[in-house]
């Protein structure tokens, strides 16, 4: 597993709403049994993205929103297949996390 890689969500209760999970945990903490992830969900009129906090990415031909405020930790053993890398969008991802944590 690697920081800024995107994985399929294997959790039956949430994968329809959040088909993908974005790993935001530092690779320096690879020995931990958990990873910090942010769910990626399709944009909809009821939950429009908040600028700066919720960047939009394209994964598997679908526009998905980084639901930064729903950040969570999960066990590494329940992370699904890797489907993409967003390393090239690192600055946007880190900026969204900064907005969540510091408001800036």
Residue 59 in 3-state DSSP? strand
Q: How far apart are CA 98 and CA 84, in angstroms?
A: 23
Q: How confident is the model at residue 50 (pLDDT cuts 50, 70, 90)?
A: confident
Which domain range does residue 47 map to?
A: 5-102
**Which H/E stretch holds residue 96?**
helix 90-102
For 8, 50, 78, 81, 89, the CA distances from 56, given in Å and listed in that order, are 17, 10, 24, 21, 10
Residue reference for tokens 């890689």:
5
For residues 5 and 82, what is the distance between their CA atoms, to the nearest angstrom?
Answer: 7
Give 12-47 pLDDT, tens digit per residue. 999 899 999 999 999 899 889 999 999 999 887 777
Contact indicator for 76, 33 with CB cutoff of 8 Å: yes
Report yes or no: 43 and 58 within 8 Å, Cβ to Cβ: no
Average pLDDT of the chain? 93
Q: Average pLDDT, stretch 66-90? A: 95
17-21, 44-48, 59-63, 97-101 — which is least confidently predicted?
Answer: 44-48
CATH of the domain at 77: 2.30.30.110
Q: How many domains does the chain have?
A: 1
């Amino acid at each position: 597993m690697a920081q800024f890689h995107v994985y399929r969500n294997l959790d039956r209760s949430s994968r329809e709403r959040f088909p993908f999970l974005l790993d935001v945990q530092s690779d320096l903490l690879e020995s931990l049994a958990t990873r910090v992830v942010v769910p990626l969900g399709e944009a909809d009129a009821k939950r429009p993205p908040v600028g700066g906090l919720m960047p939009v990415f394209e994964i598997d031909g679908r526009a998905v929103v980084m639901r930064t405020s729903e950040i969570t930790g999960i066990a590494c053993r329940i992370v699904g297949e890797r489907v993409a890398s967003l390393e090239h969008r690192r600055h946007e991802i880190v900026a969204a996390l900064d907005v969540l944590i510091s408001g800036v």
